[in-house]
Structures are given as structure tokens and as C-alpha cells.
Structure 1
Amino acid sequence: MSPSILPTLLSFLLLSASALAADTGKIGINYGRIANDLPTPVKVVQLLKTQGVSRIKLYDTDSDVLKAFSNSGISLTVALPNENLTAAAASQSFTDTWVQTNIVPFHPGSNLVAIAVGNEANVDPNITSYVTPAMSNVHASLQKYSLDDKIKISSPISFSALQNSYPSSSGSFKQELLEPFIKPMLEFLKKTSSYMMVNAYPFFAYSSNSDEISLDYALFKPNAGVVDSGNGLKYESLFEAQLDAVYAAMDALKFNDLKIVVTETGWPSQGDENEVGASGPNAAAYNGNLAKRVLTGGGTPLRPNDPLDVYLFALFNENQKPGPTSERNYGLFYPNEQKVYNVPLTAAQIGDAAVAPASANNGSKVVVPPTGQTWCVANEQAGEEKLQDGLNWACGEGKADCRPIQPGATCYNPGTLVAHASYAFNSYYQMKARSTGTCDFGGAAHVVTQSPQFGSCKFPTGY
């Protein structure tokens, strides 16, 4: 990092109290469950509460999950899956039953605030025409229980619904989607005072065009920015440019008074060789910088006064998702509830993460040493790349005492990555007085209460 960039970045992270008091956006998280190793819903609720998360989006209406969230104070967006769209569009009695079974018993206890009717239906021409009729029937069913003014209805579209997106001012929807899908849905949203749900992933755009798109521009890092040739507005992040392309597309259809909620966005911490940019540090940078951007207020260049409401994807790495490696590595948490990397999820957490590589989340402002003796060791589930990144940072910028793990020194044996990373992580952790957040290293480490055993090496407990 160049010296000229550092002051700018520091000023961005160390925000004033007045900035935090401004009209800010909200961060939520998508809770997907395509996995066989996730914690129970009750434990998930406990995890979310410890992290200060107050908004969650689900992909169904599983009764066990909804019960677990009852009286938790966490608001829920639930979903009517794509496979139910045809039936929901064709039959009011179907949606009456669906609402009676999946919504009414859980309101208001589980704080249901929105229903996503389908998901990215624009990619499947076989179901797009069913979306708005299904939304209308669900709305009519909610009216029967006087819930229509309490629960919003919308349907997430993917960014691929746009025909043009660059420059943002030229944003337009695909012609073939207008009559069967986009226009009827926008009319419904306006009529019911709802909002457009959009899934936006700058990762896909960057990965496919890394030779043309700056990584810093995609990750909200300091960059030269891009000036829209159509309206002269300057964009400093690809995410905001994408949102404004959707706004421009809606404006072109005379729906310029609708709000957008980003129902999915994220960046994978791992990917296949051809998935350019998929990495832990990039994921931490994207989600962390986006969260700070949302929580410090303001909107996009085209809608500067509309705070950003965003749901990060996703809560956990989901090991049974099909597709490329990235699909199983969007999580903020491992299934064991350890963080993959550190991301501020509330305004109070902004500034807690140090200005350091994502492999080291070492900068909590709260220094409260835990009682008793504790040590920081490597999390073997994190994988070699994450462990090596953390080891390199700890022994380099972190200034941990790594002399004992050099060849021939007292803790060189066993000469394994796990052993060496554990020693380095613990050295840094003890040096920082075991303060909160100093044993994370992007999910590569965790705290233990028994002295680590690696050969005859003795791990220090303080400096």
C-alpha cells in the first residue's frame, strides 16, 4: 500500500460520530441451508444476536427455522420458492393455504417483514410470466388476515435482467422481459408501496472482465473512479454503478419513485482456477468495505439521498451447493460458527477491524483480556492458503516473534504449517494482550483454553 493511499483509507475507516448519526442504510444476511453440517436454527439465532445482526433473509418458510427466530428481535424476509410460482399464479386457494400455513402462525412473533415471491425468475423464461400473478395472489391472501400493510411483497431479479448496464445512465431491461415480467412487476410494486429486490454481484463482472475492470474499483478500495459519459456522475465502486444501472432502467420506464433493496451480494473466499478474484482477502475487502459504505449513510450517485439496504450472501459456507467451488464459499462463517474473516455488521463495529490484510483481523478497539489462560491456534479447517496468509502476516506486518519457528530453533519441529502458524498466531495474540478480535486471521485461527502441544515447543502465555 502506498503512503499516499494510507491517510485516505484511515480517514474512511475512522469515521466521526456525526457521520455515524446520519441517515444510514441497513445490513442483513442471507441464511441459506444447502449443507449437512450447519448448526441448529436455535444456535444460529444465538450467533446472529452476538454479532448484532437484526435482518435475515431465508429461501423458504421452514417452520423449525421460523420458530427459532420467534421473539428474537430479528426481522425476516421469507420466500415462496420458484417451484411454487405456477400454482400460486393459477390459484388463489393455493396462496390462501400457503399464507395460512407459512405466514399467519409466525406473525408477529417471528417478525416477518417481506416475502420474496420466487428468486431470479428472469433467468428462466418458463416461469417469468407467473411471477406477478403469484405476487398478486399472495397479496390478496395477506389482505384476508390484515397483513398486507405489514409484510411487503417483491421478487428478486438478477443483474442479468439488464440489456445494457454500462455506462450506468444507459441502463435498460432486456426487451423480452418487459411485457411478461418487468412492467407488470413494477406496476405491482408501485401499487403496493413495495420495493424492487435486486441481486447484484460485482464479483461476476470482475471475474469475467478482470483485464478491463480494476480490482480496487470492484472492492470499494481507493481508485481513480469511472465517470459516466451519459450523465457526468463519477463512480468509485462497481456496486454503485450496477445499482444505478437498475435505477436508470426503471427511470426509463417511468418508475423513478421505487426503492431498491439489494437482496443478495457477496464475494467468494475460494474459487476454481478460472474464477478470477475469488480469495479470502478479496472477500473480506468487498464485504467489509461494502458494510462500512452502507452503515455510514448516503446512497448512490444517482440516488444520493436513498440509504442503501443490503443483504450479504451468505451466512455460512454451504457444502452441498452444486456448481463451481465459489458456490460453496460465500459464507461469512464456517459451519463451526468461526468467522471466515472479519466484517463489521453494525455501525458500532465500524473501526474494529484494523487496516491490515484480511488474513489478520487484529484491530479491535475493545481490549478486555479473557479470564484464565488462553492461547490462539490454527484452525486446520481453514485450508493451507488461509493459514499461510495468516502466518505471513503475523510474522511480517503483525510483528509476532517468529524466531522460535525458524530452522534449527526451539519450535521449528514439527515443521508443519499448522504448528508454525499456531505458534505465530499465538505470539501475536499474547503480544496484543489477548484482546477481542486478535485471534481470527480471516477465520484461520481460534482460541483454546488448554496449552497447545506441538512436539516439545512451549507456547508463551503473555509478553
Structure 2
Amino acid sequence: MALPRRLLLAAALSLLLLAGADAGTVGVNWGRVANDLPTPSAVVQLLKQHGIAQVKLYDTEPTVLRALANSGVKVVVALPNEQLAAAAKRPAYALAWVRRNVAAYYPSTQIQAIAVGNEVFATAPNATAQLVPAMRNIQAALARLNIDKAVKVSSPIALTALANSYPPSAGVFREELAQPVMKPMLEFLAQTGSYLMVNAYPFFAYAGNAGVVSLDYALFRPNAGVLDPATGLKYYSLLDAQLDAVFSAVSKLGGSYNGVRVVVSETGWPSKGDPKEVGAGAGNAAAYNGNLVRRVLSGNAGTPRRPDADVDVYLFALFNENQKPGPASERNYGVFYPNQKQVYDVQFVLGGKSVGNGGGGGLGWQDNGAGPNGGGNNAAPSGGVKAMTSPGSAWCVANAMAGESRLKAALDYACGPGGADCRGIQPGAACFEPNTMVDHASYAFNDYYQRKGRSIGTCDFAGAAYVVNQAPTKMGKCELPSTV
């Protein structure tokens, strides 16, 4: 019942590299395109309960900003695309907007940045020419009110701002954006000590190229890597490749702003999608967000081009939003359901410095209980990831998208010595039916997870499992217990 040697090797490799940079921070995008969300005050309590210390908003809704006052949560507010033209043409409008939507709440509400527009080039191309002038007028308004040192100004760009992104060294901005918009924007960011906001979604790249792009490569799991022939750099993470394409595009503009920091202002993975949305699913969402969070908080989020960089990330999104238009995935990016239960388990706080960088980019098989080799893959609480447990009821279930071979290997391991009690899924036993790999694996994974005290990392199995906080469906006559 031992794991294949290749999985053991990947697990071992994941422990070899210690974090070399200061840890970044992880926040969430708090969207509200829904009619069933909790009150703002309840949301703030949810944020505090889960250790989420940063949120990014898409507006300046007064009830939300008042609820965030004195909470300790840092906030990014937004000037919507439809107000760009007025803010660009009329400094008085920009001043009034900042006075009404920022200064009126600061510092009780810890507003740390203003996102001027959102993906303007992609969603409001007619406003592209007004973007940088609007940013400058908002910055001037902050300076006039003496809060420009505390509140930064930026604007999230989509990866569609790039004319080319593969290989990463070939990254370059679209010709109509490079000199007219991106160069003056980067000069502004460097002058004001701000950062470039980038919305990056490996899900889209994978879903559109599933026959070419490895799922493990997209989800930060151990993989063979992708070589950039021009630089000799090897990539083990699709997000790394996307960010380095942006860094390459910035460097091709010249100037003295190559060191401008990048913040990933949106990234995430949908827990559900339409049939044609390849890869959408709760297991993959749990793997992407969970691995990314652990990597960022461990200080191990540098890219091959900028290995020592610490990266701040805002997950998209806080809630599933039932009124968002478009494919099913758009309504299923939330880490939480509107009833405030987690769609899958993501820990936003890690204890101390953690280890783990599978092959240079992907977190490997992390387990605070017994490792795949009988204990040699422990990330001990004293020196690695803190042995936290999921709050409330929690279950570990199989990720059907992992495939039969990976589920079988993980099932053998979970049922091995010191692991789960798998007698209940033997032929003739009460939980043998339905006799499917997914059902049997869910039974074994959950039993293992509960016996290990639901410690972080004990429900992963190299991406074959994930945690849910709502009771899974019954296995025939059996219910998966939420505790052992």
C-alpha cells in the first residue's frame, strides 16, 4: 500500500527549499454582485474569524467602509471605470471624490490604496486615454489632504494587456498600450512608491489549452516544469510564468522602474463551471488557492526572474456571487458560500516559516501527520506549518479530477499502517457500496483526516483530496463523519 516512488520523490523534494524572502500577504476581493450576502458587519466578523487582514473592494459603499472601521482590516477601494473621465478632466472632481470616499473614513477604516478603474484596457477601452491622468489627479488630491504617503494609487491590469506572454521572456505589452499608457503609468508608480496591480488567472490559460498545459503546472503541484529557451529558466508554476511575462514586458519599456513591485490584485479558481469549462471544480479550486496561500505566506513566492520577491495576493473572491453574468464559473469563485461556510478549506494564517517548494514552484505533499514514507514528510509544528485545524465541522473528500491512478495511489497510502481504518469499505462491509474509486477514496481520506486531528496538510494527498465545510452527500447508507 505504499505510494509510487515518483510521488515519494516529489514529496521529498517539496521539503528541500526553505523560504528565502519575507512573506507576502494574502487578502480577498469582496465583491457584492449578489442578493443573498451577509450584512457588512457580519462579513467583517467573518474576515476576523479567519484571519483575513486585507480586502479589496470594487467601490466605496459607505455601509461597507463603516463596518470595516476599527477592524484592523486593511482596505483597497476603487474608483469605477465610469468615473475615470470625470476624474481625469476635472481635478476638482478627483478632490471631491477622495474627500468623500477616502478621507471621510480614514484612518478609522485603514484604506491603504485606491484602484483607479479595473481592467480598463479590456472592459472600458474608450477610457484608456483617461486612466493615467485620472491616477495623477487622484494622487494630487491625496497629497492636498496630506494622506498621500499612507494611501497608494494604482490600477489593475488584465494579462490581455500583453501582446505576447509565452515564453515568459517574450512578454511584451500591446503596441497601442506600451508607450502611450504603460510607460507613463510605471513612471507614476515608481515616483509615488506604489505598485503595479495585475489580475492573473491560470485557470483561463489551462481551460483554453488543457491539451497542452499540465493541470499540476497550473495548480502548484510537483511537475516536470517548462523551460524558457531564451533564458534557460525553468518554470514549475503557470502563475510564475504569467508574472514573469509581465516583468519582461516592463523591462522592455526601459526606464528606471524595473523594480516596481507587482501585486496580484485578482487570482483564483472556480469551484464549479459549465461543462465546457475544463478544470472548474472544488478540488482544483482548493488546490490552487490553498497551495498559493501557503506559498505566499511562507515567503516562497518569488518567480524565476525575481526569485527573492515577496508577493501580495488578493484571491477572487470572498463569496460566490449569484447575480454575476456570464458562464457558471463567474458565480462560483467564492471561498465562502453566502451562508458563511467555506466552499473548501483555505487557511489564511500560517504559524512561523513553512517549508515546501515542489520542484521550485509547486508545493508538494504536505502532511503534518504521518508522511507518505511513514513519517519522513512531516512539516512539524515547531519548525514548519502550524498544526492548525479547520474550525467547526469539516470533511476530507476525494478530488474526482485527480484521476483514477492518483486516487488509487493515495487510497493505498491512506489505508496504510498508522492511517485510516478502511475496514468499512471492504467487500461486504457497510460502506462498500457504491463500489467506486471516488467513494472509497473519500471514505479513507476523511477517516485519515479526522484521525490526524484535521491538521492542515492532512487532507491533500498530492492533490487527490480537499476539505469541505458542508456535509458531503451520503455514501449509500454511510455518512462521512466530521470527527472520529
Cα distance 1:396–1:269, how it changes in 2: closer, same or farther (>3 A)?
Answer: farther
Cα distance 1:54–1:277, how it changes in 2: closer, same or farther (>3 A)?
Answer: same
Is residue 23 of structure 2 the alignment partner of residue 27 of structure 1? no
Cα distance 1:351–1:271, how it changes in 2: closer, same or farther (>3 A)?
Answer: farther
Which residue, out of 300, 304, 309, partners 1:301?
A: 304
How many angstroms does 1:442 deviate by?
4.4
CA distance in 2, matches of 1:461, 1:172: 50
Structure 1 residue ranges without an equivalent (≥5) = 358-362, 414-418, 448-452
How many angstroms does 1:260 deviate by?
0.9
Q: Which residue does 2:323 correspond to in 1?
A: 320
How many angstroms does 1:311 deviate by?
1.1
Report SS of the residue matched to 1:344: coil
Q: Deviations over 1:20-56 (max 9, x none)?
A: 5841222111111111112222222222222222111
CA distance in 1, matches of 2:21, 2:389: 30
How many angstroms does 1:9 deviate by?
2.8
Q: Deviations over 1:38-83 (max 9, x none)?
A: 2222222222222222111111111111111111111111110111
Contact 1:266 1:312 in 2 (8 A): yes
Q: Which residue does 1:264 correspond to in 2?
A: 266
Letter in 1 for 2:343: V
Kindly indicate which of the two structures has a greater share of residues assigned to helix.
1
Is residue 218 of structure 2 the alignment partner of residue 218 of structure 1? yes
CA distance in 2, matches of 1:455, 1:214: 34
How many angstroms does 1:347 deviate by?
2.9
Contact 1:161 1:173 in 2 (8 A): yes
Cα distance 1:456–1:6, how it changes in 2: closer, same or farther (>3 A)?
Answer: closer
Cα distance 1:319–1:393, how it changes in 2: closer, same or farther (>3 A)?
Answer: farther
Report SS of the residue matched to 2:115: strand
Cα distance 1:385–1:21, how it changes in 2: closer, same or farther (>3 A)?
Answer: closer
Report SS of the residue matched to 2:47: helix
Contact 2:222 2:364 in 1 (8 A): no
Q: Which residue does 2:372 correspond to in 1?
A: none
Note the aligned Cα RMSD (angstroms): 4.1
Cα distance 1:281–1:460, how it changes in 2: closer, same or farther (>3 A)?
Answer: closer
Q: Which residue does 2:164 correspond to in 1?
A: 164
Report SS of the residue matched to 2:206: helix
How many angstroms does 1:401 deviate by?
5.9
- Following superposition of structure 1 onto structure 2, how do residues 21-420 of structure 1 map, counting pairs within 5 Å? 22-123=21-122, 124-254=124-254, 255-298=257-300, 299-348=302-351, 355=365, 366=387
Q: Deviations over 1:255-312 (max 9, x none)?
A: 3121111101111111111111111121111112222222222421111222111111
CA distance in 2, matches of 1:100, 1:445: 42
Q: Which residue does 2:382 correspond to in 1?
A: none
Q: Deviations over 1:147-168 (max 9, x none)?
A: 1111110111000000011111
Q: Once structures 1 and 2 are overlaid, which stretch shifts more, 396-405 or 108-117? A: 396-405
Cα distance 1:422–1:308, how it changes in 2: closer, same or farther (>3 A)?
Answer: closer
Structure 2 residue ranges without an equivalent (≥5) = 357-362, 368-378, 380-384, 434-438
Q: Which residue does 2:374 correspond to in 1?
A: none
Contact 1:394 1:428 in 2 (8 A): no
CA distance in 1, matches of 2:212, 2:289: 22
TM-score by length of 1: 0.81
Q: Once structures 1 and 2 are overlaid, which stretch shifts more, 66-75 or 20-29? A: 20-29
Higher RCO, 1 or 2 (CA under 8 Å, sep at least 6)? 2
Letter in 1 for 2:228: D
Report SS of the residue matched to 1:116: strand
- The count of aligned residue pairs is 441
Cα distance 1:311–1:457, how it changes in 2: closer, same or farther (>3 A)?
Answer: closer
CA distance in 2, matches of 1:368, 1:55: 22
How many angstroms does 1:235 deviate by?
1.2
How many angstroms does 1:377 deviate by?
8.1
Cα distance 1:333–1:343, how it changes in 2: closer, same or farther (>3 A)?
Answer: same
Letter in 2 for 1:316: F
Contact 2:411 2:441 in 1 (8 A): no
Identity %: 52
How many angstroms does 1:423 deviate by?
9.1
CA distance in 1, matches of 2:246, 2:9: 33
Q: Which residue does 1:416 correspond to in 2?
A: none
How many angstroms does 1:351 deviate by?
8.3
Cα distance 1:262–1:457, how it changes in 2: closer, same or farther (>3 A)?
Answer: closer
Cα distance 1:226–1:377, how it changes in 2: closer, same or farther (>3 A)?
Answer: closer
CA distance in 1, matches of 2:74, 2:140: 22
Report SS of the residue matched to 1:72: coil
Letter in 1 for 2:83: N
CA distance in 1, matches of 2:477, 2:214: 48
Contact 1:395 1:402 in 2 (8 A): no
Hey, which bits of structure 1, 4+ residues long, moved more than 3 A?
Answer: 19-22, 349-357, 363-370, 374-378, 391-413, 419-447, 453-463
CA distance in 1, matches of 2:238, 2:344: 22
